[in-house]
Amino acid sequence: MLVAAAVCPCPPLLVPEVAAGAAAELDAARAACADALGVLAAARPDRLVVVGPAEQEGSGAHPQGARGSFRGFGVDLDVRLGPAGDPSADGRELPPSLAVAAWLLQRTDWADAPIEGLGVGEPLAPERCIEVGREIGARAARTALLVMGDASACRTLKAPGYLDERALPFDAEVARALGAADWAALVALDTELAYELKVSGRAPWQVLAGAAEGADLTGTLLYEDAPYGVGYLVAAWS
């Protein structure tokens, strides 16, 4: 049963050591993420599932204690997904989105419930995303979700995907859906358009939608901006 969810962006720039001199530019986003994680903690879940976009090699389950690193971004910084757990957790490295989630959780000293990670590939079909979410939501334990993912990367001329006039309305609809805990609207997202706009959060958001079916949750949009031409959204459902 899903009792709470937090939705956060996943740029490595959220980590101040990675952002370096530009770190202050995302202070408001970091604060909003901390507030969203506070909603999860207040729900007193029996377990936390962290879902984020991943390349093929990073997709699938990642156990509690799995390690991630920001060395690929030029920073000698390692993270762990919650406290040490499965002895095999030192094997496959967390994808960047789950490494950012692990960093956020470490900042909040999360230790209230067991944690598991799930990397989902961008091409994962909506039907499969919904199915995965339903499986998560159907378990008897009180479950919280931390859902990582960015909106479009086409909001400005200097954005990674250049300027696309479709990006702003797409992001606005996602923001509305997240703020209203409208899981049906997340199910209905245009998969092809999301791909064209370089949206990394589409699949994780649709996993959330599947988990939220039948749950009586309300949403709050805590942050919405595109400081680097990429849409960053933070929301909490409880």
H/E stretch holding 138 reads: helix 126-138
What mean pLDDT is predicted for residues 216-235? 97
Q: What is the pTM of this model?
A: 0.95
129 confidence band (pLDDT: 50, 70, 90): very high
- Look at residue 31 in the predicted model and tell me its pLDDT: 97
Angle at alpha carbon of residue 236, lines to 235 and 238, rounded to 5°: 155
Tell me the average pLDDT across 103-111. Answer: 85
Q: Domain 2-237 carries which CATH code?
A: 3.40.830.10
Q: Exposed (0-12), middle (13-18) or buried (19+): which is 191, by Cβ within 10 Å? A: middle
Record the tokens describing residue 53, joined without a space. 């976009």
The sheet with strand 60-62 has its strands ordered as: 60-62, 115-121, 47-54, 143-148, 2-8, 232-237, 219-225
Boundaries of every domain in the chain:
2-237
Q: What is the pLDDT of residues 26-84, one digit of tens each?
A: 999 999 999 999 999 999 999 999 999 999 877 899 999 999 999 999 999 999 998 86
Please tell me the predicted confidence (pLDDT) of residue 9: 98
Do strands 143-148 and 2-8 pair parallel, antiparallel, or not at all (unpaired)?
parallel
Residue 59 DSSP SS3 = coil
Q: Which pLDDT belongs to residue 89?
A: 53
Name the pLDDT band for 86 (thresholds 50, 70, 90): low
